[in-house]
């Protein structure tokens, strides 16, 4: 197992962000993590990354305790934060070489540039990149040291559909290479399309866990069936087991709890009447329908006392955002620009793996140095 969690509890000032969750994640594939604000997703992910300890319970990531073996773990995982700032004066290629210098070994920079479709931007300054290109840069940096596990926090947040599709293609390529990917997202259609397994959190508990098809089978609600035929037949009797709801243009619209039985009944009706089917369209309940079924409407997930209190306690840490280029803090084997980060203050001590309390200021351009693998840092 890549991830093993047993009875994990995390408490902030008497508020339980995680309520004794247990989950095992096997090697390979994409696991989608869903849940509303305040559900405990960020806390869960940060415990896996070694950014914060649990209050009680057991956590193993790649066989390691994230709290006791942070340095070794960070060499074996890759993390893409929800919001990441890079030294904007550097080019894309320089950024890769700079981050690569933080690891004992890395993949070749040209190989990673090609994998995230940034080869044509390698000489471009980071400040000139679009939002989608910056997200591809972040994913590329997360994969630079060829990690066994990738933890991606909303990698397509705020992107247009074309940029989102580009990120999806990268994730599918990584999956094909045998990588294990834990993907947190608020886009349910994205999780439904990409994930091999879906985990839904609500108020610190896992309320659903399974393949998208398994979860969809549990979704309440009717399927919608649209059909068009070449004869005039009473629509109320055309599809046994379905309720005729009206017309959408030339299409007859039906609602049914059992779409398979409805289609079989439709076939029998067409055969007995001699009519031919011109068009048939079916919409089953979606992952979004199940999500709302489990989580509730907006009133159930917004502005709850626990979510508000937890959000106030975490502040900017919940978003893990930093804005100050030039000062860095090492986070999960990555270097995220930050000013006295509330998660880790300063670079890690080279022996203990603990924050040293110091900050490291980067020059506008890195000095000419030698990459561990022999590549020039410039």
| Inside any domain, residue 373 | no
Both 234 and 333 in one domain: the answer is no
Q: What phi and psi values does residue 22 have, to the nearest 5 degrees?
A: -135, 135
We report the CATH number of the domain holding residue 280 as 3.30.70
Domain co-membership, 182 together with 274:
no
Q: Residue 67 has which token pair?
A: 């709290």
Q: Is 232 in the same domain as 350?
A: no
How much is the pLDDT for 331?
Answer: 36
* Residue 18 domain-assigned (yes or no): yes
In a domain, residue 295? The reply is yes
Residue 305 lies in a domain: yes
In a domain, 263, yes or no: yes
**Whole domain around residue 351: which residue ranges?**
3-216+291-361
Give the rounded percent of residues in the chain with a pLDDT score beyond 90: 58
**Residues 341 and 260 grouped into a single domain:** no
CATH code at position 66: 3.40.50.300
255 and 116 in a common domain: no
Asked if 151 and 103 sit in the same domain, the reply is yes
| Cβ contacts of 33 within 8 Å, gap of 6 or more | 41, 44, 45, 182, 183, 184, 185, 199, 201
Same domain, 198 and 229: no
Spatial separation of the C-alpha atoms in residues 251 and 35, rounded to whole Å = 36
Of 242, 257, 284, the residue at which a domain comes to its end is: 284
Structurally, how many domains does the chain consist of? 2
Please tell me the distance from the alpha carbon of residue 378 to that of residue 317, in angstroms, as a whole number. 32
Q: Do 43 and 182 lie in a common domain?
A: yes
Is 151 contained in some domain? yes
Domain presence at residue 21: yes
| Whether 249 and 341 share a structural domain | no
Tell me if 350 is assigned to some domain: yes
Last residue of a domain, one of 244, 265, 284: 284
Among residues 231, 251, 284, which one ends one of the domains? 284
Would you say 377 and 371 are in contact if contact means Cβ atoms under 8 Å apart?
A: yes
How big is the chain, counted in residues?
378
- Distance of alpha carbon 322 from alpha carbon 194, whole angstroms: 29
Same domain, 211 and 255: no
| pLDDT tens profile 52-82 | 999 999 999 999 999 999 999 999 999 998 7
pLDDT given at position 298: 55
pLDDT digits (tens, 9 = 90+) for 324-362: 233 333 333 333 333 223 333 333 333 344 444 433 344
pLDDT lower than 70: segments of the chain: 297-378
Co-location of 342 and 277 in the same domain: no
Which pLDDT score is estimated for 358? 38
Together in a domain, 47 and 141: yes
């Amino acid at each position: 197992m890549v991830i093993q969690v047993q009875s994990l509890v995390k408490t902030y000032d008497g508020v339980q962000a995680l309520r004794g969750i247990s989950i095992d994640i096997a090697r390979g594939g994409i696991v989608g993590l869903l849940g509303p604000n305040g559900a405990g997703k960020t806390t869960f992910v940060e415990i896996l990354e070694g950014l914060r300890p649990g209050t009680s319970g057991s956590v193993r990531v790649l066989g390691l305790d994230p709290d006791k073996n942070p340095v070794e773990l960070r060499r074996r995982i890759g993390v893409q934060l929800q919001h990441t700032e890079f030294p904007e004066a550097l080019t894309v290629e320089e950024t890769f070489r700079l981050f690569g210098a933080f690891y004992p070994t890395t993949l070749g920079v040209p190989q990673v540039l090609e994998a995230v479709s940034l080869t044509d931007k390698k000489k471009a300054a980071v400040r000139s990149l679009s939002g989608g290109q910056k997200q591809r840069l972040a994913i590329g940096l997360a994969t630079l040291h060829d990690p066994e596990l990738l933890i991606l926090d909303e990698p397509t947040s705020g992107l247009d559909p074309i940029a989102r599709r580009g990120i999806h293609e990268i994730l599918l390529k990584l999956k094909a290479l045998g990588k294990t990917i834990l993907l947190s997202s608020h886009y349910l259609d994205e999780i439904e399309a990409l994930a091999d397994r879906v985990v839904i959190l609500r108020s610190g508990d896992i309320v659903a866990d399974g393949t998208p098809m398994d979860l969809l089978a549990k979704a309440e609600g009717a399927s919608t069936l649209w059909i068009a035929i070449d004869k005039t037949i009473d629509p109320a009797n055309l599809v046994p087991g379905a309720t005729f709801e009206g017309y959408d243009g030339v299409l007859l619209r039906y609602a049914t709890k059992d779409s398979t039985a409805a289609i079989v009944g439709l076939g029998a009706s067409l055969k007995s009447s001699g009519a031919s089917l011109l068009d048939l369209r079916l919409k089953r309940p979606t992952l979004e329908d199940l999500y709302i079924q489990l989580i509730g409407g907006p009133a159930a997930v917004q502005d709850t006392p626990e979510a508000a209190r937890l959000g106030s306690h975490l502040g900017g840490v919940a978003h893990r955002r930093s804005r100050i280029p030039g000062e860095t803090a090492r986070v999960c084997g990555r270097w995220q620009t930050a000013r006295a980060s509330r998660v880790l203050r300063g670079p890690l001590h080279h022996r203990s793996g603990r924050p040293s309390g110091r900050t490291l200021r980067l020059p506008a351009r890195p000095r000419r140095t030698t990459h561990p693998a022999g590549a020039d840092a410039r």
